């Protein structure tokens, strides 16, 4: 059995409302990024990062990871949205590995059909140039709209 935890992007999960259906489905089914874990995969918990870093960004991600290691996880996944979007991920991973050397670290939770469309969609969500405001399901279900003059 492998106990796993997932850290996801605050912007995607909290700001844009992702319910993490892809991450959870792949963990439950022991698919793709979860396949290599030994035995049954038990998802212990999920937490977001603490939002985009300040000067103490790394300290904040370590605190979030600690919230999961307190429940005895063997492996930590950085969500696929973090892998696609987070400019701080390399630094986070280095610091998490140093602080929690016993953890197996995995970058990703599920594949994307179209990575570029995902990035473009989230950029539009960050900008919110179209009314009414859109959310991550608009990206996932490919109904997101962009300003006409683009």
* Under rule CB under 6 A, residue 82 binds ligand SF4: yes
According to the binding rule CB under 6 A, does residue 86 interact with ligand SF4? yes
Extract the tokens encoding 32.
Answer: 């793709």
Looking at residues 106 to 135 of the shown chain, list those that interact with ligand SF4 (rule: CB under 6 A): none
Write the CB contacts of 89 (distance below 8 Å, at least 6 apart in sequence).
Answer: 78, 82, 83, 107
* CA distances from residue 5 to 2, 62, 86, 115 in whole angstroms, order as listed: 10, 13, 18, 23
E strand intervals along 29-139: 41-48, 75-78, 104-107
Q: Which positions from 16 through 75 interact with ligand SF4, judged by CB under 6 A?
A: 49, 51-53
Q: Smallest gap, in angstroms, from Cβ of residue 81 to ligand SF4? A: 7
Determine the interface stretch with ligand SF4 among 3-11, 22-30, 38-46, 97-105 (rule: CB under 6 A).
3-11
Residue ranges binding ligand SF4 (CB under 6 A) = 9-11, 49, 51-53, 82, 85-86, 88
């Amino acid at each position: 059995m492998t106990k796993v935890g997932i850290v996801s992007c605050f912007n995607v999960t909290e700001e844009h409302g992702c319910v993490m259906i892809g991450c959870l489905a792949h963990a439950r089914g022991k698919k793709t990024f979860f396949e290599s874990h030994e035995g049954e995969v038990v998802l212990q918990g999920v937490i977001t990062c603490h939002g985009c870093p300040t000067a103490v960004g790394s300290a904040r991600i370590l605190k979030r990871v600690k919230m999961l290691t307190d429940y005895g996880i063997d492996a930590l996944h950085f969500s696929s949205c973090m892998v696609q979007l987070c400019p701080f991920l390399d630094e986070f991973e280095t610091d998490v590995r140093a602080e929690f050397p016993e953890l197996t670290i995995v970058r990703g939770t599920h594949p994307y059909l179209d990575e570029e469309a995902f990035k473009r969609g989230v950029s539009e969500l960050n900008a919110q140039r179209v009314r009414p405001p859109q959310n991550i399901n608009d990206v996932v279900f490919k109904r997101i709209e962009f300003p006409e003059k683009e």
